[in-house]
Amino acid sequence: MSKRDGDGLKKIFGLDGKVAIVTGGMGLLGREFVKALRDANAKVAIFDLNVDKYPKEFERILKDDRVVPYKVDVTCKDLIKSALKNVVKRWGPPHILVNAAAVDIPPSYTKGNTSFEEYPEELFEKIMDVNVKGTLLCCQVIGDAMAKGEGGSIINISSIYGEVSPDQRIYIRKEKKGTFIKPASYCISKGAISNLTRYLATYWAKKNIRVNCLIFGGVFNNQDDEFVKNYSSRVPLGRMAKRDEYNGAILFLASNASSYMTGANLVIDGGYTAW
Ligand SMILES: NC(=O)c1ccc[n+]([C@@H]2O[C@H](COP(=O)([O-])OP(=O)(O)OC[C@H]3O[C@@H](n4cnc5c(N)ncnc54)[C@H](O)[C@@H]3O)[C@@H](O)[C@H]2O)c1
């Protein structure tokens, strides 16, 4: 590739001088997004409840002064505001927000019955609180700062289960404490994110804020062999995603490459929802 070609690519995908905030940036996918944004030359603030526990290889990224973690509970508006204030003081107003903080009841859950009829209210509230209210609050506070500045790009993260119902044949398991199925709460919360995306895309279009949503399929994270086999058999590409396979989409939505795109829900799922 000639230098000229490289400059062209940089103009489209480069994030020089941009300030990004990644909620849930200490998680499995969040860490990948932080690395990708930093590699494209953005300064990256992580807003996460956990800032102490991470895999050894992420230590190197956290040592880079273009990456700073802030301990933030995304369900608390005051904490988001105060962390944002620190980010602005350090680097200036934000241009990119990736809302990746979320909670789920994983297939390894063994604490009780998750059947629809018996699913505990407090678990439903917890999931809605982090996944929906947390995303909304971060959009309110950080989007407002973008609206008062140069505008920006908000990237919400959803799941195939915000689009289609889980195939419970992959999940159902009898436990001593009851039956495990993939609960409705996560699916409802992710469905809400898609429409929050459309709402904000129209609401903030005049303020030069683009708001889009990425809909991901399941990521391989050492789940048990039977789960991986069953899940993969539902995917046209025949496998789960690798953890770095969504980074290209993050860079696309964060950068000028998607300058005419707002209000979109982009599906990346190996074809899961295509049949
Ligand atoms: N991993 C997958 O298979 C998959 C598939 C589809 C969609 N997604 C979505 O991608 C996003 C990232 O998923 P992941 O796999 O990295 O999850 P993860 O559980 O590895 O990371 C989530 C992060 O959010 C943080 N968090 C939780 N509650 C918080 C709160 N109240 N305030 C601040 N931070 C909080 C956690 O500390 C954690 O670091 C999520 O929105 C998830 O729903 C994941």
133, 159, 232: which to mutate for ligand 1, most atoms within 8 A of CB?
A: 159
- pLDDT, the chain, mean: 95
User: Has residue 52 got a pLDDT over 80?
Assistant: yes
Angle 93-210-125 from CA coordinates, rounded to 5°: 85
Q: Residue 113 — pLDDT band, cuts 50, 70, 90?
A: confident
pLDDT for the residue 180: 87
Question: pTM here?
Answer: 0.96
CA of 24 to the centre of ligand 1 (A): 6
Could you tell me the pLDDT band of residue 9, with boundaries at 50, 70 and 90?
confident
Q: Tell me, what's the pLDDT at 245?
A: 98
Q: Is residue 189 within 6 Å of ligand 1 at its C-beta? A: no
Residue 250 has pLDDT above 80, yes or no: yes
| Top mutation candidate among 23, 29, 73 for ligand 1, by most atoms within 8 Å of CB | 29
C-alpha to C-alpha distance for 38 and 263, rounded to whole angstroms: 25
Scanning 156-224, the segments in alpha helix (DSSP H) are 168-171, 184-203
**Conformation bin of residue 214: beta by default, left when phi > 0, alpha when psi is -120 to 50:** beta
- Quote the ligand 1 centre to 41 CA distance (angstroms): 24
Which of the four pLDDT bands, split at 50, 70 and 90, describes residue 152? very high
Domains along the chain with CATH numbers: 14-266 (3.40.50.720)
**Cβ of 86 below 6 Å from ligand 1:** no
Contact 236, 24 (CB under 8 A): no
Beta-strand (E) ranges in the chain?
19-23, 43-48, 67-71, 96-99, 152-159, 173-175, 178-180, 209-216, 265-268
From ligand 1's centre to the CA of 2, what distance in Å?
A: 39
Residue with the bigger pLDDT between 38 and 175: it is: 38
Phi, psi of 26, rounded to the nearest 5 degrees: -95, 0
**What is the arithmetic mean of pLDDT over 236-244?**
98
The mean per-residue pLDDT over the stretch 268-275 comes to 97
pLDDT tens for each residue of 30-42: 999 999 999 999 9
Which DSSP symbol is given to 245?
T
Taking only the tens place, the pLDDT of each residue in 59-112 is 999 999 999 999 999 999 999 999 999 999 999 999 999 999 999 987 778 887
Q: Which two three-digit tokens encode residue 242?
A: 């690798």
Question: Does 194 sit in the ligand 1 pocket, CB within 6 Å?
Answer: no
- Check residue 1 and give its pLDDT: 62
Query: Does pLDDT of 246 surpass 80?
Result: yes
Give mean pLDDT, residues 228-232: 97
69 lines ligand 1 (CB under 6 A): no
Does ligand 1 lie within 6 Å of residue 50's CB atom? yes
Residue 270 has pLDDT above 80, yes or no: yes
Q: Residues 180-198: what's their mean pLDDT?
A: 96
Q: Tell which one of 28, 31, 78, 99 to mutate to probe ligand 1, the residue whose CB is within 8 A of the most ligand atoms.
A: 28
What are 162's two structure tokens? 């915000």
Q: Residue 258 Cα, ligand 1 centroid: separation in angstroms?
A: 24
Spatial CA neighbour of 109 closest among 92, 95, 127: 127
- What mean pLDDT is predicted for residues 189-211? 98
49 CA distance to ligand 1 centroid (A)?
Answer: 11
